[in-house]
């Protein structure tokens, strides 16, 4: 059974960089698309971006200038960096898997990141 | 960007009743690359339907999806107590991937 687990700081200061890692277990990171999705408290879901195991990426234009997603196939991990954060970036951040041309079939449990001084 | 509009925002129903949730796209979603997710408080979304009408593994057959183009529907034939949750549609036809705003199915 594939499992995804987010990890990283739960508190980030304004203007700093948010960094999260998603560890994939129970399956290979190869041949799938790996995404980050966030959900502000009490609100809906927002797609941040994805990376293919080969390293190709796609980002939401609304966040593209601040987002970097990378992958480490040797560790079965992929990571998110979001720079210059503000309080508007406070959200639960999820990592998720999608097959090619597919929906998100596996999700991490989510991690709350609060942006506050 | 494809904007997905879900309606109603909230629906109040009793266990055993039928729920019909709508998802309308601002432009055609080709190849029916439309999914539905269920989310309960404090949990990650769970994939219910992909390809507009295919149930994900382990999803009960009381959940069904239909539609094409710009109009899609999720139907729950007979609500069970565990079905009261928020439901989101999502298109994976074009970038950026987008989600609808959600429909909350609450107990009447």
pLDDT for res A100: 85
Q: Is the pLDDT of residue B31 over 80?
A: no
Torsion-angle region of residue B60: left (phi > 0), alpha (psi -120 to 50) or beta?
beta
What is the torsional sign of CA A42, B77, A97, A106? Answer: positive
pLDDT for A22 equals 98
B82: left (phi over 0), alpha (psi -120 to 50) or beta: alpha
What are the two backbone dihedrals, phi and then psi, of residue B58, each rounded to the nearest 5 degrees?
Answer: 85, 0
- Residue A26, pLDDT score: 95
Average pLDDT over residues B38-43: 97
Please indicate whether, in this complex, the C-beta atoms of B99 and A60 are within 8 angstroms of each other.
no
Spatial distance between the Cα atoms of B95 and B87, rounded to a whole number of angstroms: 21
- Residues A71, A17 contacting (CB under 8 angstroms): no
The beta-carbon neighbor of A103 closest among B31, B50, B96 is: B50
DSSP B30: G
pLDDT at residue B74, as a whole number: 98
Q: How far is CA A47 from CA A58, A75, A104, B32, in A?
A: 10, 24, 11, 19
The DSSP line for A13-42 is -TTS-EEEEEEEESS-STTSEEEEEEE-TT
Query: Is A103 in the B-facing interface, judged by CB distances under 8 Å?
Result: yes
pLDDT digits (tens, 9 = 90+) for B84-105: 999 999 999 999 999 999 999 9
| Each residue's pLDDT tens digit, B6-23 | 999 999 999 999 999 999
**Per-10-residue mean pLDDT, chain A, length 117:** 97 98 94 96 97 94 97 95 98 96 95 97
Chain A, nearest residue to B47 by Cα: A105
Q: Do A105 and B47 touch (CB under 8 A)?
A: yes
| Residue among A44, A58, A94 minimizing CB distance to B88 | A44
Token output for A34: 């790996």
Residue B19: which of B70, B83, B82 has the closest Cα? B83
């Amino acid at each position: 059974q594939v499992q995804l687990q987010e990890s990283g700081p739960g508190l980030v200061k304004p203007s700093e960089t948010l960094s999260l890692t998603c560890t994939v277990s129970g399956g290979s990171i190869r041949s799938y698309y790996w995404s980050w999705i966030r959900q502000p408290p009490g609100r809906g879901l927002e797609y941040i971006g994805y990376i293919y195991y080969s390293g190709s990426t796609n980002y939401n234009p609304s966040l593209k200038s601040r987002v970097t997603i990378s992958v480490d196939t040797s560790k079965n991990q992929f990571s998110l960096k979001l720079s210059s954060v503000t309080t508007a970036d406070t959200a639960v951040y999820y990592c998720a898997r999608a097959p090619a041309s597919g929906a998100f079939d596996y999700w991490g449990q989510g991690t709350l990141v609060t942006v506050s001084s | 960007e494809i904007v997905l509009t879900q309606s109603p925002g909230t629906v109040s129903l009793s266990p055993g009743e039928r729920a019909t949730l709508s998802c309308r796209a601002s432009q055609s979603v080709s190849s029916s690359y439309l999914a539905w997710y269920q989310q309960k408080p404090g949990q990650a979304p769970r994939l219910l339907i992909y390809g507009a009408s295919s149930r994900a593994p382990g999803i009960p057959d009381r959940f069904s999806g239909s539609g094409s183009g710009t109009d899609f529907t999720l139907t729950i034939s007979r609500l069970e107590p565990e079905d009261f949750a928020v439901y989101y549609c999502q298109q994976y036809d074009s970038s950026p991937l987008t989600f609808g705003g959600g429909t909350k199915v609450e107990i009447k």
